[in-house]
Amino acid sequence: MEKTIQKIVARSIGSYINLLSYIAPNKSLLLAYKFFSEPRKGKIKGDKIPKTLQKSIYQKHKLNNQEFYTYRWEGNKEVILLVHGWESNASRWKKLLPYLKKTGKTIIAIDAPAHGFNTDKEFNVIIYSEFINEIVQKFHPKIAIGHSIGGNALAYYQNHYPHQIEKMVLLGAPCDFKVIMENYFILLSLNKKVQKQFKDYIQSRFNIAIEDFSASKFLKETTISGIIAHDLEDSVVLFKESTKIASAWKTAQFIETKGFGHSMHDANLYQTIVEFLES
């Protein structure tokens, strides 16, 4: 029932955007981008800090007039960076943290733009990768783990910034921005006029062709070791997205799971990840 209501709401929003495209095209474009880039979940209120984060050392950072937060669990000098996905926050690592803490390494989880305590409203992978780079420069992690679009942001970071990460794990990560964008068009039933405006806006603003915004292209030349894990029953990011990444990233191990959905919470998988990180 909830999914049916969400579809009806999405189609209603799309109908309004389509109508607006003939009357006020610029306003229509900005509204289409707003619904695409502004998460509806994942914020943390100051009086409702998740228990997972309460025992961490949380720290505010500033970059390009934006504020974002990290959460740190102190260990030795080796650092693991955790990068969450869409409409989530650093507390999503609750079930993985106990396994990582056993390694004795310092763990740092980052909040994405427009998530957690961050006050801004816009999320995109490029800004996220800037946050990641800022934290890499400060804390020098050699290991990074990304879930969902967080994995895509890590792939973008790896391609666009000097390499400091030596091992990387991607969990349920999407490959192609084009797929994400077209699914959004379908969800809202946006007309061809809005779709063209949207594509032109993305390419102009971020100076990258939509076809080139792909984790498989970002990781094609990388030689770092890694794990790509994806669940066959993932209904949020299709399994074939990770197979595309795996076909390009030759030095990564591909792990196929079943029954854990998009969250990828599984004790055996987490133990495998820890063994990989310590190898």
- Residue 225 scores a pLDDT above 90: yes
pLDDT at 3: 67
Sheet holding 143-147, edge to edge: 57-63, 66-73, 105-110, 76-83, 143-147, 167-171, 225-231, 252-257
pLDDT at 11: 85
**Domain spans of the chain?**
1-37+177-213, 55-174+222-279
The full DSSP string for 209-246 is -GGG-BHHHHTTT---EEEEEEETT-SSS-HHHHHHHH
Residue 78, φ and ψ in degrees, nearest 5? -80, 135
Q: How many separate helices (H) and strands (E) can be counted in the chain?
A: 11, 8
Please write the tens of the pLDDT for every residue from 68-114.
999 999 999 999 999 999 999 999 999 999 999 999 999 999 999 99
Top-tier CATH class for 55-174+222-279: alpha beta
Please write the tens of the pLDDT for every residue from 4-32.
667 778 889 999 999 999 999 999 999 99
**Percentage of the chain exceeding pLDDT 70:** 98
Residues with Cβ within 8 Å of 237's Cβ and at least 6 positions away in sequence, in order, are: 148, 172, 173, 174, 230, 262
Residue with tokens 């979940």: 41
What mean pLDDT is reported for the chain?
94
Please write the tens of the pLDDT for every residue from 142-179.
999 999 999 999 999 999 998 789 999 999 999 999 99
